[in-house]
Amino acid sequence: MAANFWTSSHYKQLLDQEDVDVVSPLDREKGITLEDFKLIKMQMANYISKLAQHVKVRQRVVATAVTYMRRVYTKKSMSEYDPRLVAPTCLYLASKAEESTVQAKLLVFYIKKFYNDDKYRYEIKDILEMEMKILEALNYYLVVYHPYRSLSQLLQDAGLSDISMTQVTWGVVNDTYKMDLALVHPPHLIALACIYIASVHRDKDTTAWFEELRVDMNVVSLPDVSASFPYDYL
């Protein structure tokens, strides 16, 4: 989107992990632990991604929507902002912001079709109203940078741009949205960490390349960026 990430609101609003991992008092009263909080967000990220498949929007819209959702919960409580409404609304808003507009009624249609649980059932007007609240919670900062853009360039530079490596890395990037990484780290760093993970997984030696990049491997392999990644299944 914008040419310069470093002057963007996205960069200026990067948070520390400790600030992201705060359960709002209202939620805490209801007994939601930090662990629950993270799981709910992951669950909602999955929900957004499922819905997105039905309405057929690009991964980038999903990524933006999930980022919106995660940003919202750094400011708002889940008690006030029901995740089951916030999630589809974020997708709705992201689809506009990313120029792949999805009609609200289409979203509502798929929600009704695939989610029998009444608690998921929201109407168009609920989405539209929540959209305004989300916009406000986001302070109208809608531009989100993603690692995807730098990914292919970096892979090419590393000489790893074969299809299989690209796919694995792309998948790893998709999975980063199951955590709050996008709120904490700049996208290029996430991209590098994903390349690192994928290369280790595929037994590709990237040490020399990373050295050449002079990137601080302590940061790249920082626990929350890569090491603790739930990659048992790779």
Partner 1 sequence: MAIAAPGQLNLNEVPSWGSRSVDCFEKLEQIGEGTYGQVYMAREIKTGEIVALKKIRMDNEREGFPITAIREIKILKKLHHDNVINLKEIVTSPGPEKDEQGRPDGNKYKGGIYMVFEYMDHDLTGLADRPGMRFSVAQIKCYMKQLLTGLHYCHVNQVLHRDIKGSNLLIDNEGNLKLADFGLARSFSNDHNANLTNRVITLWYRPPELLLGATKYGPAVDMWSVGCIFAELLHGKPIFPGKDEPEQLNKIFELCGAPDEVNWPGVSKIPWYNNFKPTRPLKKRLRDVFRHFDRHALELLEKMLTLDPSQRISAKDALDAEYFWTDPLPCDPKSLPKYESSHEFQTKKKRQQQRQHEENAKRQKLQHPQQHTRLPPIQQSGQAHSQMRPGPNQPIHGSQPPVATGPSHHYGKPRGPSGGPSRYPPGGNPGGGYNHPSRGAQGGGGGYSSGPYPQGRGAPYGSSGMPGAGPRGGGSGYGVGGPNYPQNGPYGGSAAGRGSNMMGGNRNQQYGWQQ
Site residues (vs partner 1, CB under 8 A): 1-4, 7-9, 26, 75, 79-80, 92-93, 96-97, 99, 101, 103-104, 125, 127-129, 131-133, 135-137, 139-143
Considering the complex, state which of residue 14 and residue 200 has its C-beta at the smaller distance from partner 1.
Answer: 14
Contact predicate 45/92, CB 8 Å: no
Q: How many CA atoms lie within 13 A of 114 on its CB side?
A: 14
Q: How far apart are CA 194 and CA 55, in angstroms?
A: 27
Considering the complex, state which of residue 109 and residue 141 has its C-beta at the smaller distance from partner 1.
Answer: 141
The distance of closest approach from Cβ of residue 1 to partner 1 in the complex, given in angstroms and rounded to an integer, is: 6
Q: How far apart are CA 218 and CA 83, in angstroms?
A: 34
Q: How far apart are CA 50 and CA 48, in angstroms?
A: 5
The distance of closest approach from Cβ of residue 209 to partner 1 in the complex, given in angstroms and rounded to an integer, is: 27
The distance of closest approach from Cβ of residue 153 to partner 1 in the complex, given in angstroms and rounded to an integer, is: 14
Considering the complex, state which of residue 13 and residue 167 has its C-beta at the smaller distance from partner 1.
Answer: 13
Considering the complex, state which of residue 4 and residue 116 has its C-beta at the smaller distance from partner 1.
Answer: 4
Q: Which two tokens stand for residue 137?
A: 């919670």
**H/E element, 55:** helix 34-55
The distance of closest approach from Cβ of residue 204 to partner 1 in the complex, given in angstroms and rounded to an integer, is: 30
Considering the complex, state which of residue 101 and residue 228 has its C-beta at the smaller distance from partner 1.
Answer: 101
Contact predicate 9/143, CB 8 Å: yes
